[in-house]
Amino acid sequence: MNTLELFTHLRSVGVTLSLEGERLRYSAATGALTPELRQELAARKDELIAFLRMAQSATSVTGQRVQPVARDRELPLSFAQQRLLFLQQLEPESVAYNVPVALHLKGRLNLQALEQAIREIVRRHEPLRTTFKPTEHGAVQVISQQTDFRFSIADLRDVDEKEATMRRLMRAETGRVFDLMAGPMLRAQLLQLAEQEQVILLTMHHIAVDGWSIGLLVREVAALYEAFVTGRPSPLPELTLQYADYAAWQLDWLKGDVLEKQLAYWRQQLGGAPPMLDLPTDKARTSAPGAEGREHLFDLPVELLETLKELSRHEGATLFMTLLAAFQVLLHKYAGQEEIVVGTPIAGRNLPEVESLVGFFVNTLALRTDLSGDPAFSQLLQRVRETSLQAYAHQDVPFEMLVEELQPDRSLGRAPIFQVLFALQNAPRGLLQLPGLQISIMETEDASTKFELSLDLSESANGLQCRLRYNVDLFEAETVGRMARHFRRLLESAVAAPEQRISALEILVPEERDQLLRRWNDTRRGYPLDKCIHQLIEAQVGRTPGAIAAVFEDEELTYAEVNERANRLAWKLIERGIGRGSCVPVLLERSMALAVAWLGVMKTGAAFVPLDTTWPLQRLQQVLDDLGSRTALVNRLTPQRADELGCDFIAVEDCERSGRATNPEIEMSAEEPLYVMYTSGSTGKPKGVVVPHRGITNRFLWMNDFFGREAARAVLQTTRQVYDSAVWQLFWPMLSGGRTVIPSPEMELTAEYLAGLIEKRGVTLTDFVPSVFNVIVPQLVENGSLKERLQTLRSVIVGGEEITAATAYHFMQHFPGVQVVNLYGPTEASIGCIAYELTGDEATSTRHKIPIGRPIANARILILDDSRKLVPVGVKGELYLSGACLGLGYYNDEEKTRAAFVPNPYPEIGWSTLYQTGDVARYLPDGNIEFWGRRDHQVKIRGFRI
């Protein structure tokens, strides 16, 4: 029970509370104060005092009694009625505000007595016979004297498929629109299922009733029926007030200072535009989401409920507050936001005289909690307590008025101020026992939802019954089920140690941990990761010495030729003292010499460092300084740039034709650097990513498995030499007898030129960054003569930045036989380590985007939150990489290396280091990963970091 509900409950049993100075006083009818209540009062004294004090300061409602107003004057609408009438007029066909109540009756029903009871109910409660009439100064209530009433009866006794028919009839009835101008406001249907079994379905409009009213109606119908069956008169006391009196009172009271004081609180509380809740959805949002809702039911066991109550008592909070705090932590963990606003219904019946009225009193409070600073759960509970008490004390402003007042952001058809609802019902709706009849409330299928998500909890003898309702246009059932599990886990974690910081609260269950750590990282393959790249190439040279290994313009080199040239260069370098531990800058344009130079350098045991001739002199100088190297490789095309740099140069061609031609066979480990690739951070000086042979060996062998050796027959070298993709484009084919096809550096990589090259050289695999792909695909597709030239193409890799779904499908449509693969990876993780082969089905899916896929062989992936805890499936976190793809760090930069290559807290994955990518990602339920951009909004242009 929240504070307000406790008050209401106390009043209903005859206990009145008041404040006398700082002391809580109560007066009670004899016998009203049971020992349990006395105990509860004592335990919650502080809370009650705080509440009363706040209620006083917030223009207390006490002293302002609702009075009956004359029925011959025009009867105004309450604020809530005004708004609902407006909404219904806005969408006259909507049944979103229909309120169905279905009762299942077993036993012999006295239909006459029941009809009489409902007639009496309609007579007692004006809202059930109130319609609305427009006038010059707004609508007014029109109360009919007509109380005539009959059930519409459907006899299903002899119907086959009784249950289905019943459900269908119920759906039809609850789906009928109300005419608020004409009435009736209550419709009743009786479904006779068997001689002694029937369902009665009452359908009303929300403008006439709220949840509280329903409880009241059911109890009153039962009491009346019981009396009428035995011919007694109604036992219910006549009402002295009606909703219309309350409406008139509300309009009169909630204005001027009273209103201003309450509004001031909400302005301050909800000001500063609390952000929309950014829950990660399964389905992409559309501008006009539907309202179809479904629900996931689950129970929290009574032991957990008891410990939650105990924690609440201990913290001076209510069960409501504790559950809300936990729910807000859950939303925080899902959305990654620190301010969470949740709506909660409030009965709106804190005037004792309206407790027994039927009508639309319920209001919604927006509870905004600040979760910043990683508080302990118990601390957070205090924040939630404070927020809730304040909200209760200012509960009289109708939510709609607040929306009007605050004019919050409205976007993409989303609800203003809050998008998620939380409610703790504490009127347990159990069985009603009547003479000869057993009555239970039936679930009605309410197929609509006004919120993205709502959590409804109610106490029962078996614990907490929970109902998580969701919009089917946003969430899958599986996701909501997972969320429910996480809520339970979180509650258990919080009660076990409320002094824990919220970041430490656990939401994953052990199976989920196992899935994230082991099953989805079960990538082990027995590759010979102790082999260096040149060793693998040399082995292939032995197998196919006469095959073509590289093609550049009109020049073709065999495996033996490439290898010999590289060997001669290597021996020259070795003579100059270059070897293991050295770095050799290579300032070359795309050419045959490029392949020879890189291979030559690695054969010495040194690492090659690709440089770009188009870089500004200063940048080249910076890199050379960083490397501390004074010897660089050039070729005929680059000496001018080399001269300007004023260091020592060796032209590759000069070494290619003479000198020793045998493999140097330097003893070295595959853990030693293969290359240093300079990427420029968005700020500061460029950093050199050091990648060992092992990473690339692993990557190449995985490519053999994934793409097949056929795809390696002829690979187009499309990437500039200062990006790591150039490395596999040059050398991967050389592991299996294929060739690399090097385009001329003078040629722009237009669709025309590439198509020609693909045809001429029989290219089987090519690689594009999406921004290039997007330009080339329309040209390839529209130009029939270009399209024809792509016959030999088997695979296209698109990656390096987020791929454009439309282009990918466009391409796939026109080239159905070509495999399209999205490859993800940073330079620090050996070119790429997550891969996804497009199926084409993604095109019709409601998902947000094309996944980047799963870890490649021997790679490991973790998606973690800011405190490096695993985030669950579906939730966004930061992507961390590990395994055989790990780079060694940044050249000559301990500090940057330590910041990005961090200790791994999860030994289960078998590697001690993680590379922190700065990329945001999440797991899909099937284990594929979705990429959600950079954490720091680093911009990539044409697929390259800038």
What residues make contact with ligand AMP under the rule CB under 6 A? 679, 799-802, 822-827, 852, 917, 919, 931, 934, 940, 944-945
Q: Least separation, in Å, of the C-beta of 826 and ligand AMP? A: 4
Task: Say whether 322 sits in a helix, a strand or coil.
Answer: helix
Comparing CB distances to ligand AMP, the nearer of 83 and 876 is 876
Q: Least separation, in Å, of the C-beta of 908 and ligand AMP? A: 24
Phi first, then psi, for residue 352 (nearest 5°) are -60, -30
Comparing CB distances to ligand AMP, the nearer of 679 and 740 is 679
> Two tokens at 378?
């118990």
Vertex 509, ends 504 and 514: CA angle to 5°? 105
Comparing CB distances to ligand AMP, the nearer of 334 and 931 is 931
Gyration radius from the chain CA atoms: 37
Q: Least separation, in Å, of the C-beta of 801 and ligand AMP? A: 5
> Two tokens at 744?
């001329």
Q: Least separation, in Å, of the C-beta of 797 and ligand AMP? A: 9
Q: 593 and 653 in contact (C-beta within 8 Å)? A: yes
Vertex 700, ends 862 and 794: CA angle to 5°? 105
Task: Say whether 783 sits in a helix, a strand or coil.
Answer: coil
Q: How far apart are CA 789 and CA 41, in angstroms?
A: 85
Comparing CB distances to ligand AMP, the nearer of 528 and 933 is 933
Task: Supply the DSSP string of 546-582, one letter for each residue.
Answer: TSEEEEETTEEEEHHHHHHHHHHHHHHHHHTT--TT-
Comparing CB distances to ligand AMP, the nearer of 553 and 936 is 936
Comparing CB distances to ligand AMP, the nearer of 379 and 938 is 938
Comparing CB distances to ligand AMP, the nearer of 793 and 852 is 852
Q: Least separation, in Å, of the C-beta of 633 and ligand AMP? A: 23
Comparing CB distances to ligand AMP, the nearer of 228 and 702 is 702
Residue 716 to residues 260, 525, 703, 767, Cα–Cα distance (Å): 71, 27, 15, 7
Q: Least separation, in Å, of the C-beta of 850 and ligand AMP? A: 9
Q: Which of 315, 605, 295, 680 is nearest to 449 (CA)?
A: 295
Task: Strands of 597-744 (E only): list them.
Answer: 607-611, 631-634, 648-651, 673-679, 687-692, 714-716, 739-742
> Two tokens at 456?
């409804």
Comparing CB distances to ligand AMP, the nearer of 819 and 917 is 917
Q: Least separation, in Å, of the C-beta of 479 and ligand AMP? A: 23
Q: Least separation, in Å, of the C-beta of 76 and ligand AMP? A: 58
Q: How do beta strands 138-143 and 75-76 pair?
A: antiparallel
Comparing CB distances to ligand AMP, the nearer of 565 and 922 is 922
Q: Which helix (H) or strand (E) segment is 643 a member of?
A: helix 639-645
Q: Which of 224, 220, 242 is nearest to 233 (CA)?
A: 224
Q: Least separation, in Å, of the C-beta of 798 and ligand AMP? A: 7
Q: How far apart are CA 706 and CA 856, in angstroms?
A: 9
Task: Strands of 530-686 (E only): list them.
Answer: 548-552, 555-558, 583-587, 607-611, 631-634, 648-651, 673-679
Comparing CB distances to ligand AMP, the nearer of 120 and 802 is 802
Give the burial string for 693-724 (b: 16+ CB within 10 Å, else e).
bbbbbbbbbbbbebbbeebbbbbbbbbbbbbb
Q: Least separation, in Å, of the C-beta of 819 and ligand AMP? A: 15
Amino acid at 379: Q
Look at the block and give the residue holding tokens 């045959």.
592
Q: Least separation, in Å, of the C-beta of 799 and ligand AMP? A: 4
